[in-house]
Amino acid sequence: MTELNDLTARETARLVAGGEVSALEVVEVRLERIAAVEPLVGSFLRVDGEGAREMAADIDRKVAAGDDPGILAGVPVALKDNLCVEGREVTCGSKILKGFVSPYDATVVRKLKAAGAVFLGQTNMDEFAMGSSTENSGFQITRNPWELDRVPGGSSGGSAAAVAAGEAPAALGSDTGGSIRQPAAFCGVAGLKPTYGRVSRYGLIAYASSLDQIGPFARDAGDIAVLLEAIAGHDPRDSTSAPLPVPVYRDSLGGEISGMKLGVPRQCFSEGLEAGVEKAFRESLEIFRGLGAEVIEIDLPRIPHSVACYYIISTAEASSNLARFDGVQYGHRAAGAENLIEMYEATRREGFGEEVKRRILLGTYVLSAGYYEAYYGRALKARRLIKDDFDRAFELCECVLMPTSPTTAFEIGSRIDDPLQMYLSDLFTIAVNLAGLPAISITGGFDSRGLPVGIQVIAPPFEEEKIIRTASAFEAGAGFQDRKPVLSVPPAAVPGPS
């Protein structure tokens, strides 16, 4: 039954719900795939085979009884390690939370269970979602299935790599400044950052609360539509959750985009854009034109300022959110301290990695009395102006197109000692979070090495249907989503750090 490994989430759910294949068979095939490729890729921090089998058996019992198993019946899903699952360890990729077992389910986890999904385990991530390469994990490095000496992107690199490597047909991640879309681009899969408030953040361990958003990974926009439909909706336990009805996103698939106006910011073609990315992006614009869309030039003048704005706001919020990890209530506690202050200091010194410490210090600095208005106050004003730029752009076009990242996947270790260069990986994604907009990354081509190039489709708030229609039309015309990496390198031959 190895052909089950090639099924999309939609195909899997249809076969399981129709009784043509059991959910248990589907899970066993994915677990076999995980066992085969994990020594190469390292997508997962923890795999719960027994838990997955129990969930699959429950789905099979529902099907046998004639009950509705849900729109994700028997679909194996991987979860980023910052989403709480009752009774399972959650660490945010950090040693400071090692051993912490969640007492409750995140809202998206509860919704996936109701939709019939089966959880395979928790995927690797940059510690507390702070990074663009998944090299900042406190436990291991995840490798890109397309080239094992390259990063999968971050911070949701484990989820993206799991889908690209065929370990799971779908996964969830979180996106604070591009952490779903950038790894989706690097790994050649689809990844959606929903509108802020479209998906509940209850049970997501926070990095930057005004920017974080949970979203799905999958092979294509069709599966993204089903996953979003399953997890979206108002949640009274999240005060930022929007009280809006959830559309049937599947109805957006296969729609026409002829006559649609798509805007391309002139700021996309800036210094730092790799030649292979620019070539693939320009060719993708021709595909959109061939589908009948009108591609026009627009202006987003403050895109170059978004990185500075983001790193002030996000680190300020992180310095507050991460204050709770002090060794008192949960997680790691340093031994041998003689008083409470020493225990705080030792716990955080031992538990947090270098990037997390760097961002906490930066956030504390910009919030300090002498610098609050000079940095944090100005960043909030810049954020408003960035949103205004998008509002003006959407008066001229229905969606905005941009490359997802200025580069394709870079080599492991090549940027880890250069934080500024690493931060620039998110140049084209950050503004979307600052403006609270929805955006999807899909594969728009490949560079000269055969590495995937991601393109973004961005829409006004709560217009995910428009994004899904545009992305699915492009995929139908281009077919790039059908290309998959070949994992054949033996573990002993894998280059790079362990």
- Looking at residue 167, its amino acid is E
What DSSP assignment string belongs to 417-463?
T-HHHHHGGGTTTHHHHHHT--EEEEEEEE-TTS-EEEEEEE-STT-
Task: Let me know: does 171 contact 215? Beta carbons within 8 Å.
Answer: no
Neighbours of 132 (CB within 10 A): 29
Percent helix, strand and coil across the chain, each to the nearest 5: 45, 15, 45
Bridge-based pairing state of the strands 261-265 and 294-298: parallel
Would you give the DSSP letter of residue 302?
Answer: T
Residue 86 CA to residue 288 CA, distance in Å, equals: 44
> Which member of 159, 174, 179, 252 is catalytic?
179
Across the strands, what pairs with 440? 192, 457
62 classed as catalytic: no
> Which member of 155, 284, 405, 472 is catalytic?
155
- Looking at residue 8, its amino acid is T
Residue 86 CA to residue 183 CA, distance in Å, equals: 27
441 classed as catalytic: no
Bridge-based pairing state of the strands 170-174 and 294-298: unpaired
Residue 389 CA to residue 405 CA, distance in Å, equals: 20
The verdict on whether omega for the bond into residue 155 sits within 30 degrees of 0, i.e. cis, is yes
Rounded to whole angstroms, what are the CA distances from 493 to 39, 44, 85, 251, 473? 11, 20, 36, 46, 40
> Which member of 62, 80, 113, 193 is catalytic?
80
132 classed as catalytic: no
Q: List, by residue number, the catalytic residues.
A: 80, 155, 179
